[in-house]
Chain A
């Protein structure tokens, strides 16, 4: 298709060489960099407030682990909020997935592999179920997932009779609490870094072959510099114990989601639907179908998040596992620049949002701030973030 349009245009004999300067994509995400600045400020504050404890390797790894579950749920939240859909059910859905995993592996002695596959499948089924209600029957996602929040939680309690099912097999617990050894960790980081650079380089070269990117070196520097910084930071963090498997999982999921949202037609359609459903419809996008798959993918997310959470605590607690996770996830997504009115939002931003919320928790805990104050502070941050979102959008259409 793309090739066709290119030939079509050259056939029209256009001459755009003189306007190449308009083609280099500008920095698209000023919000992300602003969020980074805020995060840096918060970290610096805690660094001094905790006499340096906050920025130790040990604490940062702990922070990454503490943030991982919310991060997974936040990735989910972004993909749904982009199409103006809410998910209030993720916390309960995750608990139900955990219950299924625990029942299968602890009570019925199936192996970890079968347990995980079944648990993820259960998550997908929940996604299909909610997707059918939203896309086919047309009930608002707010209602469908509010109901889901209630009955997924209820089912978890029924299945366990309110009891905790533990401990999970060691193989599962190890996966969630263990570390990829130092050597392979560093290898993974370097490979990921190189892979990313190669991918972007390939992008640039392709653009150049089409006459789009005149300054290859400056573009490379713009892409490469942050990547090098991130890679160095990761290597430092991994230099002692390696990378926690859970953090690796978050990285893989985030990358997959980012590719899905930004580099496939599916993702492009979701952004179009969220931006203006009528325009999307008139452009030939099948809204119902896309929204349905939107929820199916969220269901896969329930599965992954549920397995991770259950393995991390080595057991399923039907009543409280994942409680308020939906709110943390939505908050992280919103802080990360996802717009409630749809059509805008990045996975990376949501990860930063989750990290910011996690940092507040972690830092205040280190400072021995009572939990009541912590909640108050987090609420204030959320309000501020949404206010900024609103103000940045109240320009005339």
Chain B
């Protein structure tokens, strides 16, 4: 600790040698940490570093007994078996996706599942009073009768925090609270967090954004691969050191493909601005331009809320909100308002969530042919034999492991489902593939195989835009990567500069 402080604040929670294993993976191992009152502790780490597991254990979401190691709260053993018990003990978790009922009023949301009652009926007056008290306590000037859905995102988040604080909180956990917030909204949030700190509440702040972390945190804990790799006073560590600890010692000698093979531009995007579908004035992506060459694998890297997914969906005409800007395919200006127009121009998209991309109840064959059947005159008959032939060929080529072409797609593993989606676009010979978080939930072996498929296809002239928050993967497979931060281009990396560390640094350094 800093030398000018004689007294060390008392710890609220102390963990000793926490280890939790999920089938096949060690989510966290041997985590010992103490969280002190009146202190903001930031936990940093890449996806899969174990941050979520740790905070979920503290919040009782993983019940005591499902992990080894010990927890102490204010010196006494603490073994919550569910979230309710942890909450009662004073741990409040505000998750990334805040859980509110937008149709209900602020008061109803604040008292949700804890409604004051009188004679067995909800005491509406007392509920309003309780909500009013909670809002006042947190200095939020909102009418408790406002419908929750009418508030902006930041205010909703503040209401959720107020709700959490209404229950005598000792430890407040904020899981990536600023991912969906604008700069100003984030500042408002930090303001409140500082006030709580002054009241002696311990705060855990999970984030990727180094700028924010350094402005708000007193202490920075870095996790990687389930372990703690650094525990610093925020004033005593540099950003570069933190990034290094997040990424680890990387042996970065992936052979990059020679530039100058084929260089004609395949897809060019100029000045793309994408607006929020609900709040049409809020720009999620601003003035973003990039270019993909034929046969190039381009990565689009950014943290949650950076706007990468938005870019992918709007190029494809699948974004639900408004967007402006120019798209050029092979040098020709085109307009794409709907997915079918994108497909006609040779684009194909792999959805972020495989449940959005596949028809789980239908066969592998049917899933491969969806895009083919979506084109052409509806009354044109289907040449089933020819379709089965090409489906069978693709199954072999991509090495899709399924009982048969008629196996239901949901019975396949994640990696094979991914390949079925790729096959769908190969059937109609798509030239540009946009992949959104393509290997999420795919195991390591299958991942390598899928990477090989991409590289093979790119060598045959297909272009890839891979939107991912997995820096390691992008550094490995991409020819070039663009990093986004808060809806804007933060930088571009290629050749030897394209490393996991550089990606993370560019994305978090804001």
Chain A 187-208, CB-CB to B under 8 Å as 1, else 0, gives 0000000000000000100110
A6 and B386 form a contact (CB under 8 A) = yes
Whether A268 contacts B373 in the complex (CB less than 8 A), given A26-B404, A279-B351, A282-B357, comes out as yes
- Interface presence of A218 (CB below 8 A): no
Chain B 372-415, CB-CB to A under 8 Å as 1, else 0, gives 11111111111111111110111111000001111000100000
- Name the distance in Å between A212's Cβ and chain B's nearest Cβ: 6
Tell me the count of chain B residues lying within 8 A, CB to CB, of chain A. Answer: 59
B429 to chain A: which residues have CB within 8 Å? 4-5, 8
A279 and B356 form a contact (CB under 8 A) = yes
A283 and B406 form a contact (CB under 8 A) = no
Q: Pick the contact of B361: A207, A263, A343 (CB < 8 A).
A: A343
Segment of B95-103, B118-126, B362-370, B491-499 engaged in the interface with chain A: B362-370
Chain A 4-43, CB-CB to B under 8 Å as 1, else 0, gives 1110111010111001101101101000000000000000
- Interface presence of B20 (CB below 8 A): no
A1 and B381 form a contact (CB under 8 A) = no
Interface of B is mostly: helix
B389 and A211 form a contact (CB under 8 A) = yes
- Name the distance in Å between A338's Cβ and chain B's nearest Cβ: 13
Segment of A110-118, A232-240, A270-278 engaged in the interface with chain B: A270-278
- Interface presence of B343 (CB below 8 A): yes
A285 to chain B: which residues have CB within 8 Å? 340, 370, 374
Query: Among A2, A8, A272, which residue has the most Cβ atoms of chain B within 10 A?
Result: A2
> Could you tell me the distance between the alpha carbons of A14 and B399 in the complex, rounded to whole angstroms?
11
B426 to chain A: which residues have CB within 8 Å? 5, 8
B371 and A284 form a contact (CB under 8 A) = yes
> Could you tell me the distance between the alpha carbons of A271 and B386 in the complex, rounded to whole angstroms?
20
A22 and B404 form a contact (CB under 8 A) = yes
A264 and B392 form a contact (CB under 8 A) = no
- Interface presence of B291 (CB below 8 A): no
A-B contact count (CB 8 A): 180
Whether A269 contacts B361 in the complex (CB less than 8 A), given A5-B429, A6-B386, A25-B406, comes out as no
Q: Pick the contact of B374: A5, A23, A283 (CB < 8 A).
A: A283
A283 and B370 form a contact (CB under 8 A) = yes
B380 and A265 form a contact (CB under 8 A) = yes
- Name the distance in Å between A70's Cβ and chain B's nearest Cβ: 27
- Interface presence of A266 (CB below 8 A): yes
- Name the distance in Å between B366's Cβ and chain A's nearest Cβ: 7
B265 to chain A: which residues have CB within 8 Å? none
> Could you tell me the distance between the alpha carbons of A209 and B386 in the complex, rounded to whole angstroms?
10
B340 and A207 form a contact (CB under 8 A) = no
- Interface presence of B427 (CB below 8 A): yes
- Interface presence of A170 (CB below 8 A): no
A263 and B381 form a contact (CB under 8 A) = yes
Whether A278 contacts B356 in the complex (CB less than 8 A), given A16-B395, A265-B378, A272-B373, comes out as yes
A19 to chain B: which residues have CB within 8 Å? 392, 395-396
B297 to chain A: which residues have CB within 8 Å? none
> Could you tell me the distance between the alpha carbons of A279 and B318 in the complex, rounded to whole angstroms?
11
A279 and B359 form a contact (CB under 8 A) = yes
Whether A264 contacts B381 in the complex (CB less than 8 A), given A23-B405, A212-B388, A283-B424, comes out as yes
- Interface presence of A293 (CB below 8 A): yes
B386 and A280 form a contact (CB under 8 A) = no
> Could you tell me the distance between the alpha carbons of A10 and B393 in the complex, rounded to whole angstroms?
8
> Could you tell me the distance between the alpha carbons of A283 and B356 in the complex, rounded to whole angstroms?
10
A203 and B370 form a contact (CB under 8 A) = no
A282 and B339 form a contact (CB under 8 A) = yes
> Could you tell me the distance between the alpha carbons of A386 and B429 in the complex, rounded to whole angstroms?
41
B403 to chain A: which residues have CB within 8 Å? 22
- Interface presence of B76 (CB below 8 A): no
B359 to chain A: which residues have CB within 8 Å? 272, 275-276, 279-280, 343
A284 and B340 form a contact (CB under 8 A) = yes
Chain B 266-310, CB-CB to A under 8 Å as 1, else 0, gives 000000000000000000000000000000000000000000000
A16 and B393 form a contact (CB under 8 A) = yes
Q: Pick the contact of B397: A3, A14, A209, A211 (CB < 8 A).
A: A14
Q: Pick the contact of A266: B358, B362, B378 (CB < 8 A).
A: B378
Q: Pick the contact of A397: B316, B360, B377, B406 (CB < 8 A).
A: B360
> Could you tell me the distance between the alpha carbons of A272 and B361 in the complex, rounded to whole angstroms?
10
Whether A281 contacts B339 in the complex (CB less than 8 A), given A265-B373, A397-B410, comes out as yes
Chain B 325-361, CB-CB to A under 8 Å as 1, else 0, gives 0000000000000111011100001010001111111
- Name the distance in Å between B190's Cβ and chain A's nearest Cβ: 36
A23 to chain B: which residues have CB within 8 Å? 388, 392, 404-405
List the B residue with the shortest CB-CB distance to A280. Answer: B370
- Interface presence of B428 (CB below 8 A): yes
- Interface presence of A286 (CB below 8 A): yes
- Name the distance in Å between B335's Cβ and chain A's nearest Cβ: 16
- Interface presence of A344 (CB below 8 A): yes
B340 to chain A: which residues have CB within 8 Å? 284-286
A396 to chain B: which residues have CB within 8 Å? 410
A28 to chain B: which residues have CB within 8 Å? 406
- Interface presence of A210 (CB below 8 A): yes
B389 and A210 form a contact (CB under 8 A) = yes
Whether A212 contacts B370 in the complex (CB less than 8 A), given A4-B429, A5-B427, A279-B358, comes out as no
A286 to chain B: which residues have CB within 8 Å? 338, 340
List the B residue with the shortest CB-CB distance to A15. Answer: B396
Within 8 A of B (CB), among A279-306: 279-286, 290, 293
A265 to chain B: which residues have CB within 8 Å? 373-382
A272 and B370 form a contact (CB under 8 A) = yes
A269 to chain B: which residues have CB within 8 Å? 373-374, 378
> Could you tell me the distance between the alpha carbons of A5 and B387 in the complex, rounded to whole angstroms?
8
B361 to chain A: which residues have CB within 8 Å? 275, 339, 343-344, 393
A1 and B372 form a contact (CB under 8 A) = yes
Whether A263 contacts B373 in the complex (CB less than 8 A), given A16-B396, A212-B389, A397-B360, comes out as no
Given A3-B386, A206-B385, A268-B382, output 16 extra A-B contacts at Cβ < 8 Å: A1-B428, A2-B387, A5-B426, A14-B396, A19-B395, A25-B388, A28-B406, A212-B388, A263-B382, A278-B356, A279-B356, A283-B374, A284-B340, A284-B374, A286-B340, A397-B355
